[in-house]
């Protein structure tokens, strides 16, 4: 049962902050490289880690008794207690300042910057914007805005209402194809200590949240776009990468990572097996 959404109450969380630290290990770098279809190599202290390694670091750890029915921690605490049951990453923006390296102690400082409510085609949507700064002993490494969206369950116990298909992009000049199988989703959940059941519990995701299958992680799609963009620019991360989820990507089929050059950098997108975009991004150097 969804509770009453009191926006004034939820906006009291704006300005709340927290800090957490973790170590970039060689094992983490290897695991993330393997999961993002990169050469695993033999990372040593001082070697650059994958560009979105910070999404694996210092993830919140709660006892089992404090997890909600979806596998996330119960509502409240740092994030506001939005009374809508379905939670996903909607998009965000990354500014890459300096690489994280194996052996770094990285500190993430996070702040709730906004809480808004919108009416979407599938019902009420609540967006929570979180700003993060990742620092090491050398100074700032990454600045980020993360947009989280909360939605209601589909009415009548049926399947989730499909999103309106995104406009077909231009044919991709650069493209690579992978398979979104359950092992890939498990690996990314493990690397990010993500207990969200939509990524591994098929009974839950189909019978409770109404999706047709396991849901591909939004940040993994974004991570694949960042790494693809960097490979197309000689291994250099973009100064700014903005991304937005368009519709869910489900396990069980092929998906593609795509890019086209623009005057400012690259337009990038993930597409499902039918060629329908599920996430789009822009990278600027």
How far is the C-alpha of 21 from the C-alpha of 17, rounded, in Å?
14
How far is the C-alpha of 2 from the C-alpha of 149, rounded, in Å?
15
Structural domain for 38, as ranges: 7-284
CATH number at residue 194: 3.10.129.10
How far is the C-alpha of 225 from the C-alpha of 232, rounded, in Å?
11
Total domains present in the chain: 1
How far is the C-alpha of 276 from the C-alpha of 285, rounded, in Å?
27
Going by their DSSP bridges, the two strands 105-120 and 17-23 should be labelled as antiparallel
Query: Is 137 inside a domain boundary?
Result: yes
Query: Is 1 inside a domain boundary?
Result: no
Query: Is 126 inside a domain boundary?
Result: yes
pLDDT in tens, the chain (285 residues): 356 899 999 999 999 999 999 999 999 999 999 999 999 999 999 999 999 999 999 999 999 999 989 998 888 789 999 999 888 899 999 999 999 999 999 999 999 999 999 987 778 999 999 999 999 999 999 999 999 999 988 765 545 555 566 667 789 999 999 999 999 999 999 999 999 999 999 999 999 999 999 999 999 999 999 999 999 999 999 999 999 999 999 998 899 999 999 999 999 999 999 999 999 999 999
Query: Is 209 inside a domain boundary?
Result: yes
How far is the C-alpha of 275 from the C-alpha of 223, rounded, in Å?
19
Query: Is 2 inside a domain boundary?
Result: no
């Amino acid at each position: 049962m969804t509770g009453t959404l009191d926006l004034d109450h939820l906006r009291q969380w704006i300005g709340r902050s927290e800090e957490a630290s973790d170590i970039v290990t060689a094992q983490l770098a290897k695991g993330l490289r393997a999961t993002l279809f990169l050469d695993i190599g033999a990372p040593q202290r001082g070697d650059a880690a994958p560009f979105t390694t910070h999404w694996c670091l210092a993830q919140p750890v709660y006892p089992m008794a404090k997890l909600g029915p979806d596998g996330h921690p119960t509502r409240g605490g740092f994030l506001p207690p939005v009374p809508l049951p379905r939670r996903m990453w909607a998009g965000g923006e990354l500014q890459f300042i300096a690489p994280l390296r194996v052996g770094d102690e990285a500190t993430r400082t996070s702040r709730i910057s906004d809480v808004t409510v919108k009416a979407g085609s599938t019902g009420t949507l609540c967006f929570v914007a979180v700003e993060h700064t990742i620092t090491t002993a050398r100074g700032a490494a990454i600045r980020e805005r993360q947009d989280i969206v909360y939605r209601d369950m589909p009415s009548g116990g049926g399947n989730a209402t499909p999103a309106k298909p995104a406009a077909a992009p231009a044919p991709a000049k650069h493209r690579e194809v992978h398979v979104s199988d359950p092992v890939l989703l498990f690996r990314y959940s493990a690397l990010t200590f993500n207990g969200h059941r939509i990524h591994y519990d098929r009974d839950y995701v189909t019978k409770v949240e109404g999706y047709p299958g396991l849901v591909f992680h939004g940040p993994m799609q974004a991570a694949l776009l960042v790494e693809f963009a960097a490979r197309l620019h000689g291994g250099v991360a973009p100064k700014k990468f903005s991304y937005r989820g368009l519709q869910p990507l489900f396990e069980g089929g092929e998906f593609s990572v795509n890019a086209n050059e623009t005057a400012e950098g690259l337009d990038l997108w993930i597409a499902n097996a039918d060629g329908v975009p599920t996430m789009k991004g822009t990278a600027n150097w």
